Structure 1
Amino acid sequence: MTLASSSKPSANRKPTSYESLMAGVAAGAIEGAITYPTEFVKTRAQFSADAGGKRGVMSILTDTIKTRGISGLYSGSGAMIAGNGLKAGVRFLTYDSIKELLRDSNGKMTPGRTVLAGLAAGVVEATIAVTPSETIKTKLIQDASSLQPQYTNMVNGTIGICRTEGVMGIYRGLWPTIMKQGANSAVRFTSYAWIQGLMINFTQPPSGKLSSTMTFGAGAMAGLITVYTTMPLDNIKTRMQSTGASLKYRNSLDCLTKIIREEGVQRLWGGTTPRLARLMMSGGIVFAVYERLIGVMTSL
């Protein structure tokens, strides 16, 4: 199965909902484990900007390794990897299911329908998986950078957050996360389908499908487009999920206004470099692993 509407018919059957879910979970977990250090540095860069420090990526990277070792770059990684697997599974399951409902009478997907399917996938994954895992990850990274960390791992951190803030404490920043993930998925799936279609039309592969290398490239380019389009939403989401955010910001709009007024519009793109590195890698890894696993499953 490919996501582009311009791909040639395949002899393989369409994936079941279970296969879409399992392939997505595996792809997301693998991607999360590989790219987590870039997410750690990006989040720390956003926190340093919030504190007025505006530290650079290399400064954060070297200081973390010097004081905590390589393992310090994986603070909060458990929540990220688990959440990444779940959100990717939900994302692909939702996207594939809605896409089948939205196809026209010829089985094609228009760009508008692709955007709608991606948007719906983002909203569902944000509600079910992304907000809790991102909130826990954000708080664990923030805690790890303090002089006296309170939490030692994901389980300990989750229990501590729920104990001090209630269960809704892990749902901080739900609305900005929904906005961010909805935009992320809409942009990523649409740009990936468009780039994939261009590559297929240009290379004319006999099977009608791209190789794993070409799929990685299409996913990476889709990741680049996604980063620059949605970075402001990511910054607002991170600020709203940080410890003490409820005291500093009334809502997402208030957060946006204060960032622009106090730090300038350019701060909305703070942390772009590590997020760009991560999403280009993640886009390539997730789509390449997902397409390969689906190909194996549907050929059995």
Structure 2
Amino acid sequence: MNATHRKPNQYESLLAGIIAGGVEGAATYPAEFVKTRAQFTATKGSAVGVIPIIRETLQQRGIRGLYSGAGALIVGNSLKAGTRFLTYDSIKGVFADSNGKMTPGRTVLAGLGAGVVEAIVAVTPSETIKTKLIQDASSTRLYHNMIDGTIGICRTEGFKGIYRGLWPTIMKQGANSAVRFSSYSFLNNALVTYTKPSSGKLNTTLTFVAGAGAGLITVYATMPLDNIKTRMQATGAESRYKNSADCLMKIVRQEGVLRLWGGTTPRLARLMFSGGIVFAVYERLIGVMTAF
């Protein structure tokens, strides 16, 4: 006999999202580190390419080097995922019809809204701190850990220093969540239709597959926004770029349009796994929490 499940309440959505985000962040951080370093390879003297970056980091700092800035991302990822699922489920509750179904357009809007909220609440400060810590790890060390880095950034740049690149982050996260939730919903429904599970829900393996597919689509659709966001959050960005549009034009003019997809390989690896992990963990936790 199949268990009956009710809709998750706000606290359950938040808790499941926080746990899923923390697990995903810790599991995939080395790929995020390499991606961010790869986005700085235009800097003279930096290692270029995924393998050279990994080799250089391991030679200079060991395995711990691949986790530089990890604390900021793991904490931020937990808060981000909790905020994302809480906001998405809340908006979905308003948009869904009497049967709980969502149209593709409303799914996109719900994802967009979740992305904007998570960008303001969690992503911008955690990503700014993470980016500066990774950049700091490849040069003269100014910061020793997440707390020291946060204090140092606020001391030298003020509180606004950890909100550097807010607008490109809002654009990136809004697009990320809109694409990720809508593509996940499409893939999830397609797999349910194809496999016809007796419970009406996918098992953990197929949920991971749907989440990984959503991650793949999200990477290629939003990579330019991710590159602009990273450049705008780097140390000294305020003196190099007037705004996000100026950053975009300088990257294209000075480095070529393909630079907007710089760091795609490690981000692809991370978001495919992260999409699979976060949706699989979230769905399983919600299943346990809402079972009667």
Normalised by the length of structure 2, the TM-score is 0.98
Pair 1:165–1:155, CA change in 2 (3 A)? same
Q: Give the ranges of 4+ consecutive aligned residues of structure 1 lying more than 4 Å apart after TM superposition.
A: 50-54
Residue 219 of structure 2 corresponds to residue 227 of structure 1:
yes
Distance 1:16 1:32, change over 3 A: same
CA distance in 2, matches of 1:155, 1:247: 25
Distance 1:52 1:102, change over 3 A: farther
Q: How does 1:119-134 map to 2 (within 5 A)?
A: 119-134=112-127
Q: Deviations over 1:114-143 (max 9, x none)?
A: 000000000000000000000000000000
Cα separation, 2, equivalents of 1:223 and 1:50: 28
Among all aligned residue pairs of Structure 1 and Structure 2, give the percentage whose two residues are the same amino acid.
Answer: 73
The count of corresponding residues between Structure 1 and Structure 2 is: 291
Give 2:284's aligned residue: 292
Q: Give the equivalent residue in structure 2 for 1:113.
A: 106
Shift of 1:53: 5.1
TM-score (norm: length of structure 1): 0.95
CA gap 1:190/1:51 in 2 versus in 1, 3 angstroms: farther
1:107 match: secondary structure: coil
Of residues 255, 259, 263, the one that matches 2:247 is 255
> Does 1:30 find its partner at 2:23?
yes
* Counterpart contact for 1:12–1:295, Cα < 8 Å: yes
Corresponding residue SS for 2:39? helix
CA deviations over 1:225-279 (Å, ceiling 9, x no partner): 0000000000000000000000000000000000000011000000000000000
Residue matched to 2:159: 167
Task: Return the alpha-carbon distance in structure 1 between the equivalents of residues 158 and 51 of structure 2.
Answer: 36
Cα 1:52/1:186, change in 2 over 3 Å: farther
State the distance in 2 between where 1:209 and 1:106 align: 16
- Output aligned runs, 1:205-244, within 5 Å: 205-244=197-236
Q: Supply the distance in 1 between the matched residues of 2:14 and 2:96 (Cα, whole angstroms).
A: 20
**Cα shift readout 1:50-70 (whole Å, capped 9, x = no counterpart):** 548571110000110111000
| C-alpha distance in structure 2 between counterparts of 1:256 and 1:42, whole Å | 18
What is the aligned partner in structure 1 of residue 7 from structure 2?
14
Within a 5 Å distance, the mapping from 1:136-147 to structure 2 comes to: 136-146=129-139
CA distance in 2, matches of 1:253, 1:93: 31
Q: Give per-residue Cα distances to partners, 1:27-58, cap 9 Å, x unaligned.
A: 00000000000000000011112548571110
1:271 has 2:258 as partner: no
**Distance (whole Å) between structure 1 residues aligned to residue 237 and residue 104 of structure 2:** 37
- Equivalent residue number for residue 135 of structure 1: 128
Q: Does the 8 Å contact 1:10/1:208 carry over to 2?
A: no
AA aligned to 2:242 is: R
Residue 191 of structure 1 is matched in structure 2 by 183
Aligned residue identity for 2:226: D
Q: CA deviation at 1:289?
A: 0.2
1:198 and 1:51 map into 2 onto residues whose CA distance is 47
Question: Partner amino acid for 2:91?
Answer: I
1:152 has 2:144 as partner: yes
Structure 2: runs of 5+ lacking an equivalent: none
Kindly report the root-mean-square deviation, in angstroms, between the aligned alpha carbons of the 2 structures. Answer: 1.3
2:88 aligned with 1:95: yes
Rounded Cα–Cα distance in structure 2 between residues aligned with 1:154 and 1:268: 28
- C-alpha displacement at 1:11, in angstroms? 1.8
Distance 1:257 1:192, change over 3 A: same
The unaligned stretches of length 5 or more in structure 1 are 1-8
Amino acid of the structure 1 residue aligned with 2:193: N
1:86 to 76, 79, 86: 79
Post-superposition offset of 1:103: 1.1
Asked whether the equivalents of residues 28 and 88 of structure 1 are also in contact (C-alpha less than 8 Å), the reply is yes
Measure, in 1, the Cα distance between the counterparts of 2:92 and 2:171: 20
> Which of 42, 56, 71 is 1:63 aligned to?
56
Alpha-carbon contact 2:47-2:56 (below 8 Å) kept: no
Which piece of structure 1 moves more, 119-128 or 100-109? 100-109
The residue type paired with residue 74 of structure 1 is Y
Q: Is the 1:25–1:87 Cα contact (8 Å) retained in structure 2?
A: yes
Secondary structure in 2 aligned to 1:181? helix
Post-superposition CA distance 1:208-239 (Å, at most 9, x none): 00000000000000000000000000000000
Question: Structure 1 51/113 Cα, relative in aligned 2: closer, same or farther at 3 Å?
Answer: farther
